[in-house]
Amino acid sequence: MKGKSVLEAALGGARGRLRAILMTAAAMIAGMVPIALGIGESARQSAPLGRAVIGGLILSTLATLIILPCVYAILKTKEGEASPSLDPTDPASPFYETT
């Protein structure tokens, strides 16, 4: 996202993928609910696994939408605005030679 701050770019990226991430997580959670409820004699053994999967999906969804963009913004802000150029004749390059 050219012309925007790092934080705005990170939030825009998360906002753009919000629907796909939430729909995928919701479908997986809905599919795991019958297992997590553990209705029936033999289903009680797999109920803890279903609950763990649902909890992991919720936490990973929150991490993807909140924590990851924040970490990206923090790391990218500390990186600075250095030129990516390696050309020694480019004045903006960190390898610029004045000779």
pLDDT digits (tens, 9 = 90+) for 63-98: 998 898 888 888 887 766 666 777 778 777 777 777
Q: What is the pLDDT of residues 35-60, one digit of tens each?
A: 999 887 888 889 999 999 999 999 99
Where in the chain are the domains? 6-79
Q: What is the pTM assigned to this prediction?
A: 0.68
- Within 10 angstroms of residue 57's Cβ, the number of other Cβ atoms is 16
Q: Output the CA–CA distances (angstroms, integers) from residue 41 to 45, 47, 78, in the order listed.
A: 8, 11, 55
